Amino acid sequence: MNDVRLFKDNNGVWYTTNDILNKLKQVGAHDCDILFVHTDVAFGALNPELKRKKYLGYLYEVLQQLNVGTLVFPSFTFSFCNKEVYDVNNSRTSMGALNEYIRNQPNVVRSLDPILSMIAVGDKANLFDNIGKSSLGINSAYDILHQQDNVKFLFMGAEIGECFTYIHYLEDVMRVPYRFDMHFNGTVIDAGGNNFDDEYILYAGCAGVKPACSYYFEDYLLEKGLLQKTHIGIKPITCISEEDAYREIRNKIETNVHYFLEQPYTEADLVHEYTKGKNGERIISC
């Protein structure tokens, strides 16, 4: 891999592909068999000599240089929730520019889930071929990850307090009272171009309940030495094992069912419909 200047931070310090690779290794992102990657790649001022697509390509190359057996990225679309057809090959993900770029690369396999799809590349690219009809619970992509050995979560610029959807997987498995099964129907077009009608279930948040931006959970994990953290440019980089994340999330919910909520819920909050936004639109709390 060539060492290429990608961006500079607010102090004018340049970061290269090798710098990023070393930072990822610093948090242990290379030391696993499966790496699940959340991304937010606005690390600083982009090198003006690089086009956006080239920049994303270099970041993907850095991740591949970790030599992890399998890379997994969320490629959520919420298609059925939005009454849209889910096209495995063509439905864009809302999970960021890098994830969308990687989705279109060779040998990347996308799951059939029309709500919370995943993309995978590497030794276990077909890991999610037999997912169930629950987007968060038993036999979901997250549940399949939980059954694997030596899995880690990497937050590459993304904030763990804002985007750790894995928490909702545990909430589904534990059947917390502030979420409910919501059924969605729609049309799927698979990778071979075949279309069919299907139904999926999302353990959605009740209308009166708001998930917290759980930065306090990140602080807790750091204090316990379970989360490794550094920075690339203006963004944090954190990494934690799936085993540690599962245990700690479960313990927190068992100890205090309100732990991952903005405030404790009441019976009046447990309305079985989506949270509504300021303009009356439905909001999926995942």
Strand partners, 74: 118
Q: Tens digits of per-residue pLDDT, 222-272? A: 999 999 999 999 999 999 999 999 999 999 999 999 999 999 999 999 998
pLDDT at 214: 85
DSSP line for 143-158: HHHHTSSSEEEEEESS
pLDDT at 130: 93
Q: What is the DSSP letter of 13?
A: -
pLDDT at 279: 38
Q: Evaluate the CA torsion angle 81, 85, 88, 92 in order and state its sign.
A: negative
SS3 content of the chain, % helix, strand, coil (to 5): 25, 25, 50
Residue 89, classed as helix, strand or coil, is coil
Per-residue pLDDT of the chain (286 residues; tens, 9 = 90+): 889 999 999 889 999 999 999 999 999 999 999 999 999 999 999 999 999 999 999 999 999 999 999 999 999 999 999 999 999 999 999 999 999 999 999 999 999 999 999 999 999 999 999 999 999 999 999 999 999 999 999 999 998 988 899 999 999 999 999 999 999 999 999 999 999 999 999 999 999 999 998 899 999 999 999 999 999 999 999 999 999 999 999 999 999 999 999 999 999 999 987 654 433 334 454 4
Q: Is residue 172 within a helix (H) or strand (E), and if so which, with residue range? A: helix 166-173
Q: What is the DSSP letter of 92?
A: P
pLDDT at 283: 45
Q: How many CA atoms lie within 13 A of 9 on its CB side?
A: 12
Estimate the crossing angle of helix 242-255 against helix 215-223, to 10 degrees. Answer: 120
How many Å apart are CA 149 and CA 190, to the nearest integer? 28
pLDDT at 195: 96
**pTM for the model:** 0.94
How many Å apart are CA 45 and CA 2, to the nearest integer? 20
Q: What is the DSSP letter of 234?
A: T
pLDDT at 286: 46
pLDDT at 275: 55
Instruction: Find out whether 278 and 208 touch, Cβ atoms under 8 Å.
Output: no
Length of the chain: 286
